[in-house]
Structure 1
Amino acid sequence: MFQNIIIGQYVAGNSFIHDLDPRSKLTATFLFVLIVFLANNWLTYLILFLAVLVAMLVSNVSPNYIYKGMKPVFLLVIAMFILHAFFTKEGELLFAIGWFEVYLGGIIQGLFIAFRLLLLIMMTTLLTLTTAPIQMTDGLESIFGPLRRFNVPVHELALMMSISLRFIPTLLQETEKIMKAQMARGVDFTGGPITRRIKAIVPLLVPLFMQSFRRAEDLATAMEARGYRGGEGRTKLRELVWMKKDTMAVLTITTIGFILLFLRS
Structure 2
Amino acid sequence: MSLLDARRVRRGPIAGINPVAKLGAAFLISAPLILTIDWVSAATALALESVLFVFAGLTWREFWLRTSPVWIAAPITAVTIALYGTTTGQIYVDWFVLRISDGSLELALATFFRVLAIGLPAVVLFVTVDPTDLADGLSQIVRLPSRFVLGALAGMRLIGLLTDDWRALSLARRARGVADAGRVRRLFGMAFALLVLSIRRASKLATAMEARGFGGHGVRTWARESRFGGREWMLLAVGAAISAVAITVSVVTGSWTFILGR
Q: TM bucket by the smaller chain? A: 0.7 to 0.9
Query: SS of the residue aligned with 1:59?
Result: coil
> For the Cα contact (< 8 Å) 1:77–1:114, is it kept in 2?
yes
- TM-score of the pair, normalised by structure 2: 0.73
The alignment-based identity, stated in percent, is 22
Distance 2:121 2:209 in 1: 32
Give the 5 Å matches for 1:143-222: 143-145=141-143, 154-171=145-162, 173=163, 177=167, 185-186=180-181, 202-222=188-208
Query: SS of the residue aligned with 1:95?
Result: strand
Higher alpha-carbon Rg: 2
Distance 2:15 2:141 in 1: 19
Shift of the 105–161 alpha-carbon distance from structure 1 to 2, 3 Å rule, reads farther
Structure 2 residue aligned with 1:246, among 225, 232, 236? 232
1:256 corresponds to: 242
2:118 corresponds to: 120
Structure 2 gaps, min length 5: 256-262
Matched, 1:140 2:138: yes
**Aligned AA for 2:242?**
I
2:42 corresponds to: 45
Structure 1 residue aligned with 2:222, among 205, 211, 236? 236
Distance 2:100 2:165 in 1: 39
Structure 1 gaps, min length 5: 4-9, 146-152, 189-196
1:223 corresponds to: 209
> For the Cα contact (< 8 Å) 1:155–1:230, is it kept in 2?
no
Matched, 1:24 2:21: yes
Instruction: Number of aligned residue pairs: give it.
Output: 240
> For the Cα contact (< 8 Å) 1:86–1:101, is it kept in 2?
yes
**Aligned AA for 2:244?**
F
Distance 2:34 2:81 in 1: 16
Report the alpha carbon displacement of residue 167 of structure 1 after superposing the two structures with TM: 4.5
Shift of the 179–254 alpha-carbon distance from structure 1 to 2, 3 Å rule, reads farther
Shift of the 112–133 alpha-carbon distance from structure 1 to 2, 3 Å rule, reads same
Superimposed CA distance per residue, residues 191-223 of structure 1 (whole angstroms, 9 cap, x where no aligned partner): xxxxxx7x7853453233223324323433443
1:93 corresponds to: 91
Distance 2:76 2:186 in 1: 24
After superposing the two structures, state which structure 1 stretch, 173-182 or 227-236, moved more. 173-182
After superposing the two structures, state which structure 1 stretch, 74-83 or 84-93, moved more. 74-83
